[in-house]
Structure 1
């Protein structure tokens, strides 16, 4: 009888350890590495060697813990079978099977998941601290298994060849997935996520995608006078003007407004601009904008001339163009603010993409629900699932919308036409 009680006590102890280690595994599986890192940054006292190891390589922690759960589960199975056969020789095996099945499903799978599915990061921190002694005992036993699994993982990842550093970098899709996780878990605000996404896309953008095309370049002939250069700068509100010889395809330099102001003397407007010409930086239109930004910083320049494969001028790009790829449109202090809403007639309006959505709701006389958009551009992109092209037209919630201006990242201007008759005050849900 004493041995019987001892078996029951051992089974109970093994069951407790089984639930505990399974909960640790569940917490590791459910927790987000981003959330754990953010939590550690807020409170370094929560850090532990095992937690840092989880962030570095989960497999090194999971293999010993999983081995421990199997040891406890097998021990429970052996003792339960022995106990059942001792008490009920005729049908003890079937009873033992049912008990072990119940323990495996309930205490090994379901209960640990229920215990760790809410706030898994907080629970992971608490559980890992208590499981560290068990981990240290099991680590030596699990070492051969860990080594074999690591070998198989390396062979699976790269076929046994050395890891290519370029291939080991996170892809754009992986980074987007991380950003989505960060937003879903409340770690990143939508604006922060958009900024990071802009930085990621910035690394893959070429000069020809952001430059002002050749046909829109405002330049000045090298034989022009200081007065003529001043007039061009004032008229077009440009602080940097390319200087060309003969035609725009032969740019020889750039004139800066600060040099013009330094050399401008009233009454001497007819002086030549030769001394104002600064050597131009020529770059291929296929150059990555990240590399161009670094080069401009090193040279102390603010503008570069993009050339095509034949050596002709393809366009012009400034530091402002590059920065706008990251942070969006930058309006100079002397630029008049463009009206957000222009009423063409009683049924037609032109809106900027950055117009707050409530302005459109006031115009349309209805609420647009079922989305998280704060601007008109956000509503359009959420409805279409992409950034529309200029000239694209579609109907939404009884409105006819025409995209007037857009680039590859955002809607800039659009026209909204109201129906002849529209119900006032109704709410529209986005499907």
Structure 2
């Protein structure tokens, strides 16, 4: 007598499970994965791609379908159980349907579809797209209502991804095997270097190989040959007065024409100055736009503090991939198991990472500056500063300041 109603009720519960599971599957598949499926020309991938581009329509359609099915199932169950159990049937129907909808309409289908999201999404994409078209009037109505409520509530509709969201997408792509590890690292570095300042990557002034503008080509040939660099800042009178940049290629031209007596300042190219606080992503655009390979870094008073090149910026993006220890290795030399020598020009952030310290840069940016600021003078060789797990001992000092220190473990 009630067989047909029971079959219809079970079918509605099954449909509820289908809607819940399909929603979970479609929302679980990342856009990166969808594009990968599209490239592989998987059946259903085109429909899936279109659906993922309009997720609000997908959600509205699934919610309409699921609620209609659940309401229908609840109504049918109430009628069925009332006919069987009389006046107490409504209460029994509520309890039974709550259990069946929760278990077979939500938990089981959502769990299964989450575990098989890719397969389910490809199968369901076309039927769901068709359902969106069938329910188009209702979808548009609820979409409009949602926008009105969002405006009233002050919600902002933004399609822009934050930096953190982009990082998450890159990490997901790497995890799913769609982006290679090296490419993912480059992408992360590009995102992270947005706020990096020039003074964080520059070569400090004491480490720069400079050329006196009054010298001749003959005077500097040996110096240039021994140096690993191809460009040199040219100074006049003192190293704080940079008047140009010397390019090795220009020297070769003069050597070939046997004009060895020409003064360096005559062949030096124009200098490009940048402030320490400039962000390196902005500097990269300037380097590319003006075809400049090098810039002299100055502080707020106009004093030369360092040098930055295109290679320095690119190293921020790809350097760590080829040599994770490159930055520290140019400053650090291991002498024994418990002793290392550090160039005193090492930036504070590097020494913090190396020794797990938390030195806050104030009016200094290097280890030498920190020591001199702490002692309020240039220390003598052999003087030391004690920390909890190590001792920092002055290794080499010049008239201008500290050149190197030793880190000795306690």
Secondary structure of the residue that 1:278 maps to in structure 2? coil
2:299 is aligned with 1:308: yes
2:60 is aligned with 1:69: no
What displacement does 1:83 show? 1.0
- Counterpart-to-counterpart distance in 2, 1:184 and 1:401: 40
Secondary structure of the residue that 1:301 maps to in structure 2? coil
What displacement does 1:315 show? 1.7
5+ residue gaps, structure 2 = 323-328, 342-348, 358-388, 393-405
Which piece of structure 1 moves more, 132-141 or 185-194?
A: 185-194
- CA 308–415 in structure 1, closer or farther in 2 if over 3 Å, else same: closer
1:277 to 265, 268, 282: 268
Secondary structure of the residue that 1:250 maps to in structure 2? strand
Is the Cα–Cα contact under 8 Å of residues 284 and 307 in structure 1 kept in the other structure?
A: yes
- CA 135–391 in structure 1, closer or farther in 2 if over 3 Å, else same: closer
1:11 to 9, 28, 49: 9
2:242 is aligned with 1:251: yes
2:194 is aligned with 1:203: yes
- Counterpart-to-counterpart distance in 2, 1:401 and 1:198: 32
**Residue by residue, what CA displacement relative to the aligned partner does 1:334-389 show, whole Å, maximum 9, x if unpaired?**
xxxx99x99855x56979xxxxxxxxxxxxxxxxxxxxxxxxxxxxxxxxxx9872
- Counterpart-to-counterpart distance in 1, 2:305 and 2:5: 84
Is the Cα–Cα contact under 8 Å of residues 324 and 330 in structure 1 kept in the other structure?
A: no
- Counterpart-to-counterpart distance in 1, 2:244 and 2:235: 7
* Counterpart in the other structure of 1:152: 149
TM-score (norm 1): 0.71
* Counterpart in the other structure of 1:216: 207
TM-score (norm 2): 0.75
What displacement does 1:318 show? 0.8
- Counterpart-to-counterpart distance in 2, 1:390 and 1:88: 74
What displacement does 1:19 show? 1.9
- Counterpart-to-counterpart distance in 1, 2:83 and 2:204: 89
* Counterpart in the other structure of 1:392: 355
2:25 to 24, 27, 51: 27
Is the Cα–Cα contact under 8 Å of residues 234 and 265 in structure 2 kept in the other structure?
A: no
**Residue by residue, what CA displacement relative to the aligned partner does 1:215-267 show, whole Å, maximum 9, x if unpaired?**
32221121111022323222332210111121122211101011111111486
- CA 83–393 in structure 1, closer or farther in 2 if over 3 Å, else same: closer
2:322 is aligned with 1:322: no
- Counterpart-to-counterpart distance in 1, 2:307 and 2:146: 54
* Counterpart in the other structure of 1:102: 99
- Counterpart-to-counterpart distance in 1, 2:320 and 2:5: 73
The count of residues paired between Structure 1 and Structure 2 equals: 354
- Counterpart-to-counterpart distance in 1, 2:21 and 2:207: 64
What displacement does 1:272 show? 1.7
- CA 156–283 in structure 1, closer or farther in 2 if over 3 Å, else same: farther
What displacement does 1:138 show? 2.4
- Counterpart-to-counterpart distance in 2, 1:174 and 1:77: 41
**Residue by residue, what CA displacement relative to the aligned partner does 1:146-192 show, whole Å, maximum 9, x if unpaired?**
22223334555656xx96xxxx6433333333333334434344433
- Counterpart-to-counterpart distance in 2, 1:220 and 1:78: 91
- CA 233–330 in structure 1, closer or farther in 2 if over 3 Å, else same: farther
**RMSD of aligned residue pairs (Cα, Å):** 3.6
5+ residue gaps, structure 1 = 332-337, 352-385, 395-399, 404-413, 418-431
Query: Where do residues 256-271 of structure 1 align in structure 2 (5 Å cutoff)?
Result: 256-265=247-256, 268-271=259-262
- CA 330–41 in structure 1, closer or farther in 2 if over 3 Å, else same: closer
- CA 129–306 in structure 1, closer or farther in 2 if over 3 Å, else same: same
Is the Cα–Cα contact under 8 Å of residues 393 and 402 in structure 1 kept in the other structure?
A: no
* Counterpart in the other structure of 1:55: 52
